[in-house]
Structure 1
């Protein structure tokens, strides 16, 4: 790997990782907004209207920063990855055009009504705008994931040209859309986004409850966020297993790296935690012997192809990195399941909002889905190496021929500075909106609210 390739990969990884903070938040928060406003239309309780107005302001902030940070990546395709852009241009062109026409345009058009239409349209029309904005963000993610999934499991194409002029041409649009990994990967990404958005709601609401501010609104929002988070966390078990089955079938090298499995044909262990030494081809840690074989084949002794069954030039090089990011993602996923289910039990027992330490956990837990989403993408993308289009185009062959290392390094430094300023601005504005809180015009109590929390200090 030369300096241009390494720097270009670092630059794209940094820009997409930073951008990926915001779309999951907007998707998950959009679904929570639909529930909040739907509750307002159903109950006519002003608490839900005030909650919806408050969270729409935060949604608009997230949406704006997300758009600003996402534009850069499209230019990087041309500046750093010209060969790749030529190769996948027809594939990405159709998917991204569909994203722009059917998703982003709808989301952007109805965002204006969502933000400014409260006193200009009827409540049902405003609710429709909320639904369409949420659907727009969901459909936008769909087309992006389809394009990325095609790189993982190409389908519905033919190759025209040779060498540097080779490019993939769509021969079957729907085969390209429903490539072998698109449905499983999209469902996994979507649920990760629901967790990110719902945990933002939970974090802010828990902070209000701890501070005894806007308690009626905070408890109402917390209930909504908790149900979305609990259902999503359980759903992630299913989608994660489905995604792993696709990896097993189509990307055996990635699967072997995820579990640090080297032997060419032997039962594969499942590690809970561990460390991979690629030089000695050993993995140590806490494991379930034959656990991976059982998950894949329902047989603890069934052999799984290891990294040594694959040519060295076709294996992922950063095996320990893939191993660690994968296990961190799984560990966080299981933590979120335990946290949300325990909280539902506490809610049923009417002790949730009086348990101070648990509210403190939720304030900080907003970071967990974000970390899981990031390391999940690292696992998928680094585990795919050395291919940028799996089995067809190597990453080293996808670079622009004219770009030099110093150009990439300079732009990487500048991007880092600009993105850090944007992130500081985002945190400042987000904190300002949270400190302000909902604009409360009513003292009505939400049905089912634990009224003791409004009168007594938080216990325990």
Structure 2
């Protein structure tokens, strides 16, 4: 491997690892705020227990997300200095806004939520968790705005070989951002709901705190189903924008080699990449045209035709991503998301009229189902980033031109191994902390808990 390959591996590992924590943090922040709101309105002790319990798990995950996210930003300067020089004026703006506005908002009010339980009134304390949750979601928007600029550059000009910002509003209202944000947020809610459901199922399986965790399980099932529907619709919208802005990515996702009207959605394909054709392709008739254009007879561009057009537009080169990776990551993303939706639908049916599932099989499935949205999220980002290749900034800068020119293979290899080992240790710490506090369960509250806010001490 050369410096480019190792740098891509290092950044890919960092990004996928970091994004394991991000959706859970985003979704749990809203769920915990909702549980505390329910306690504030009803004063039922079950909601107080759930707020305290899931609040601790939320804080553990939040801390790990911050640590891993900071490393990502350092890598822009270490491994991708030419990229940073080219896009720093544009890319830095939404990231600076994220740090100065959103992160300060969420961290400040999260601190007030943790340490203000005995000093703030219940109403003000409730406001702090909602402001922290809102800050978390705003933070996601700014970061996605920066990433979306790499997918679809807007609001810039090229001056002396650098991209310079000319319209920050165009960057923040990029059409790619507007479709990506709801898709990511719904995916985060689905992730958090699966986590809450799995943890609740663990207690119900052992018949511990059944009255308390019946509430959280039912809530998680409802959030999961609504989120799955939201992911589906926002994903459909995103696919249409992607077909318009990055047709090669959509063509690779479907292993579609030639322009085609009334194109079918591929279920399983075996292709010949060198010769640009498929040997086997099982399809749902008209499915791809409907997904991409909202019509049954819409035309979708194929890989071979786009490659020919891109060579004429950008010059000689191979503008195809790794087709097999794009194809299967797209399908597995959809498949794992669909399984999460089916699990939620089955759970809502089994728990109707306040009942618990008669058998233990559903509880075990719910525990195993925690991983489904995490897999879907990771595969979705792998598809999004790998499907854009060979571009770092689509149409402006190729990945091969973005890597640092003065970094050698040995340096990148050492840091790649080092980062991977450190992240492995952090993963063990995260899982052990989560399991420790899950096993402890909701702690007994103080006598004055009826008028106080949840205890969040470790």
* Same fold per superposition (TM over 0.5): yes
Q: Is residue 2:282 matched to residue 1:291?
A: no
Other-structure match for 1:93 = 92
Other-structure match for 2:247 = 252
Aligned pairs, how many?
A: 438
Contact kept, 8 Å, 1:387 with 1:395, in 2: the verdict is: yes
- TM-aligned CA distance change 1:12 to 1:180, over 3 Å: same
Other-structure match for 1:452 = none
Other-structure match for 1:144 = 143
Contact kept, 8 Å, 1:106 with 1:132, in 2: the verdict is: yes
Deviation of residue 440 (structure 1)? Answer: 3.2
1:435 to 439, 442, 450: 439
1:323 to 327, 330, 350: 327
3-state SS of paired residue (1:40): helix
Contact kept, 8 Å, 1:276 with 1:323, in 2: the verdict is: no
Deviation of residue 302 (structure 1)? Answer: 3.9
Other-structure match for 1:53 = 52
Other-structure match for 1:407 = 411
Contact kept, 8 Å, 1:271 with 1:285, in 2: the verdict is: yes
Instruction: Return the TM-score normalized by structure 1.
Output: 0.92
The separation in 2 between residues aligned to 1:8 and 1:276, in whole angstroms, is: 29
The separation in 1 between residues aligned to 2:307 and 2:68, in whole angstroms, is: 38
Other-structure match for 1:42 = 41
Other-structure match for 2:233 = 238
The separation in 1 between residues aligned to 2:14 and 2:27, in whole angstroms, is: 21
Could you list the runs of 5+ residues in structure 1 that have no partner in the other structure?
444-460
**1:391-427 superposed Cα distances (whole Å, 9 cap, x missing partner):** 0000000111101111111100000110000000111
3-state SS of paired residue (2:175): coil
Contact kept, 8 Å, 2:239 with 2:291, in 1: the verdict is: no
**1:338-383 superposed Cα distances (whole Å, 9 cap, x missing partner):** 2212222222254444332111111011100000000000111000
Q: List structure 1 runs of 4+ shifted beyond 6 angstroms.
A: none
- TM-aligned CA distance change 1:116 to 1:285, over 3 Å: farther
Q: Is residue 2:386 matched to residue 1:382?
A: yes
The separation in 1 between residues aligned to 2:63 and 2:268, in whole angstroms, is: 38
Q: Superposed, which structure 2 residues align to 1:16-415 within 5 Å?
A: 16-161=15-160, 166-265=161-260, 267-283=262-278, 284-311=280-307, 313-415=317-419
Deviation of residue 55 (structure 1)? Answer: 1.1
Instruction: Return the TM-score normalized by structure 2.
Output: 0.92
Contact kept, 8 Å, 1:56 with 1:115, in 2: the verdict is: no
Other-structure match for 1:10 = 9
3-state SS of paired residue (2:421): helix
The separation in 2 between residues aligned to 1:129 and 1:421, in whole angstroms, is: 32
The separation in 2 between residues aligned to 1:60 and 1:350, in whole angstroms, is: 30
- TM-aligned CA distance change 1:285 to 1:218, over 3 Å: farther
The separation in 2 between residues aligned to 1:20 and 1:287, in whole angstroms, is: 32
The separation in 1 between residues aligned to 2:361 and 2:281, in whole angstroms, is: 32
The separation in 1 between residues aligned to 2:213 and 2:399, in whole angstroms, is: 48
Pairwise CA RMSD: 1.7
Contact kept, 8 Å, 1:262 with 1:282, in 2: the verdict is: yes
The separation in 2 between residues aligned to 1:251 and 1:259, in whole angstroms, is: 13
